[in-house]
Amino acid sequence: MKKLSLLMISLFIIGLLAACGTSTNEADDSTSGGDKKVLKMATSADYPPFEYIDTTKGSDIVGFDIDLAKALAEKTGYELEIQDIDFNSLIPALQAKQIDLVLSGMTPTPERAENVDFSDVYYTANHMIVSLKDKEVKSIEELKGKTIGVQLGSIQEDKAKEISEQVNVKIENRNKISDLIQELKSGRIDAAIIEDLVANGYIEKDKDLSGFTMASEEEAGSAIAFQKNSPYTKEFNDALNEMKENGELDKLVAKWFGGE
């Protein structure tokens, strides 16, 4: 009888523990997943004010694109997991289905559109030639015989190739905008082509830098990139157009670019 009683008590305890374990696991699953689906977003966090890390305030990625992404995710009912990837690796990551979307000041060129889908353009900007003040470059013609730097995989890389058809220049690629500025200050390149809003941010902080905006018949626009035939493209595009119509996008522009 004693053995039987001990056996029954043991079975009862095992059953109780199993029930508790099941309850705990279910709670963990619910907490980790939540009610909203998590989408993986990537950006190249070296492009202020679009996306960057303000080290004086922490390690979070902030910027215009980040605020826009969060607002769109809220409207479409998703949560975002944001990661920092070199710009030239963003489209390959989409193609490999490692991420769901990209917000990184990316221009929807025909070449890129062969591999990914794009939303409508959400912002437009111009190109700027940045150089050192004591060796200032004031025109495309003055680039002759010089070395210009561009971010690898960027629309500015294509612009540099266009310039090389007009004047004899050497083109150097770097992964990050900050790398271009460092190369410029160290004398390894003579000038860099950077989006004007981003370039102006560096020029304001560094008195040694100067720049001029390139004349362009067609401005470079930024759009959200998705995997080919992604189910999220239309949802985010509809939400983006809603933000354009109700003024929410203009408010973000004013916050990050000084009100246009």
pLDDT tens by residue, 167-178: 999 999 999 999
The predicted structure's pLDDT at residue 218 = 60
The predicted structure's pLDDT at residue 219 = 60
What are the CA-CA distances from residue 64 to residues 56, 69, 123, 135, 217 (Å)? 18, 9, 10, 32, 25
The predicted structure's pLDDT at residue 181 = 96
**Residues 135, 120 within the same domain:** no
Residue 73 lies in a domain: yes
**Residues 106, 142 within the same domain:** no
Domain containing 232 equals 37-124+220-257
**Residues 131, 160 within the same domain:** yes
**Residues 152, 116 within the same domain:** no
Residue 107 lies in a domain: yes
Residue 29 lies in a domain: no
Q: Are 212 and 138 in contact (CB under 8 A)?
A: yes
The predicted structure's pLDDT at residue 122 = 96
Which of 218, 38, 223 is closest to 117 using CA atoms? 223
* CATH number of the domain bearing residue 76: 3.40.190.10
The predicted structure's pLDDT at residue 6 = 42
Residue 16 lies in a domain: no
> For the chain, which ranges sit under pLDDT 70?
1-34, 216-220, 258-260
The predicted structure's pLDDT at residue 192 = 97
What are the CA-CA distances from residue 200 to residues 143, 161, 204, 211 (Å)? 20, 23, 6, 8
Residue 159 lies in a domain: yes
**Residues 56, 173 within the same domain:** no
The predicted structure's pLDDT at residue 108 = 94
Residue 28 lies in a domain: no
The predicted structure's pLDDT at residue 124 = 87
**pTM of the complete model beyond 0.75:** no
